[in-house]
Chains A and B, each alone.
Chain A
Amino acid sequence: MIAERELAAVLEKVEKPTRYIGTEWNSVHKDHRQVAVKFALAFPDVYEVGMSHLGSKILYHELNRREDTAAERVFAPWVDMEEAMRRVGLPLYALESRVPVREFDLVGFTLQYEMSYTNILNMLDLAGIPLTAAARGPDDPFVLAGGPCAFNVEPLADFFDFVVLGEGEEVIHEILDEYLAWQAETGRTRTGLLRRLAQIEGVYVPSFYQVQYQADGTVRSVLPLADAVPFPLKKRVVADLDTLDYPTRPIVPFMEIVHDRAMLEVFRGCSRGCRFCQAGMIYRPVRERSLAALEEQAEAIVRQTGYNEVSLSSLNTSDYSEVQRLVGNLVDKYRDAGVGVSLPSSRVDSFSVALLEKIQQVRKTGLTLAPEAGTQRLRDVINKNVTEDDFTAAVRDAFRAGWSSLKFYFMIGLPTETEADLDGIANLAKKAVALHREASRTGGGRARPPRITVSVASFVPKAHTPFQWEPQFTVEELKSRQYYLSRMLRHGSIVYNWHDAEVSFLEAVFSRGDRRLGAVLVAAWRLGCRFDGWSEHFRLDLWLQAFADCGLDPAFYANRRRSYTEVLPWDHLGAGVSKEYLINEHQRALQARTTADCRFDRCLDCGVCPDLGVALGVKGGDSGASL
Chain B
Amino acid sequence: MHRFRVQFSKGEAVKYISHLDLVRAFERALRRAEIPIAFSEGFNPHPKLSLASALRVGTTSEAEVLDLELSRPVEPEWLTAVLQTALPSGIAVSAVKNIEPAAPAAMAVANLARYRIEARLTDACPEAAARAALAAFLAAEVITVERETSKGKKNLNIRPLTQSLALLELSDDTLSLAADLSMGTAGTGRPEEVVAALREEFGLPLAADGYRMHRTGLYHRRADGTVLPLFEI
Contact = CB atoms under 8 A, between A and B. Distances in A.
Interface string A286-302: 00000000000000001
Interface stretch (A17-25, A493-501, A604-612): A17-25
Contacts of B39: 338
A330 to B, nearest CB: 16
Interface residues of A, number: 28
B21 interface: yes
A378 interface: no
Contact of A17 (B28, B57, B86): B57
25 contacts: A8-B210, A9-B209, A9-B210, A11-B16, A12-B209, A12-B210, A17-B16, A17-B58, A18-B16, A18-B21, A21-B13, A21-B14, A21-B16, A23-B90, A25-B25, A25-B29, A252-B28, A254-B22, A306-B27, A306-B29, A306-B32, A308-B31, A338-B47, A363-B44, A364-B43
Contact of B28 (A12, A255, A306, A337): A306
A255 B12 contact: no
Interface in A302-342: 302-308, 337-339
A622 interface: no
A216 interface: no
Given A303-B32, A306-B27, 19 more contacts: A9-B210, A17-B16, A17-B58, A18-B17, A21-B13, A23-B89, A25-B25, A25-B29, A252-B28, A254-B22, A255-B17, A304-B32, A306-B31, A306-B32, A306-B86, A308-B27, A338-B45, A339-B31, A364-B43
B31 A255 contact: no
B96 interface: no
A4 interface: yes
Interface string A4-40: 1000110111000110010111000000000000000
A183 to B, nearest CB: 32
Given A4-B12, A9-B209, A25 B31 contact: no
B181 interface: no
B30 interface: yes
Contacts of A304: 32
B187 interface: no
Give the secondary structure class of A's interface.
loop
Contacts of A4: 12
A25 B87 CA distance: 8
A26 to B, nearest CB: 9
B73 interface: no
Contacts of B45: 338
A247 to B, nearest CB: 16
Nearest to B45: A338
Given A23-B13, A337-B31, A255 B88 contact: no
A215 to B, nearest CB: 57
A13 B89 CA distance: 24
B171 interface: no
A13 B16 CA distance: 11
Given A17-B57, A255-B21, A23 B31 contact: no
B25 A254 contact: yes
A364 B45 CA distance: 12
A254 B13 contact: no
B18 interface: yes
Contacts of A339: 31
Contacts of A303: 32, 34
Given A12-B209, A23-B90, A307 B13 contact: no
B64 to A, nearest CB: 15
A307 B27 CA distance: 9
A307 B90 CA distance: 20
Nearest to B209: A12
A8 B47 CA distance: 33
A46 to B, nearest CB: 16
Nearest to A252: B28
A475 B117 CA distance: 57
B88 A25 contact: yes
A13 B57 CA distance: 12
Central interface residue in A13, A338, A339, A363, by most chain B CB within 10 Å: A338
Contacts of A363: 44
A274 B18 CA distance: 43
A595 B32 CA distance: 47
Given A23-B14, A338-B39, A306 B30 contact: yes
Contacts of A13: 209
A305 B33 CA distance: 10
Nearest to B90: A23
Interface string B76-98: 00000000001011100000000
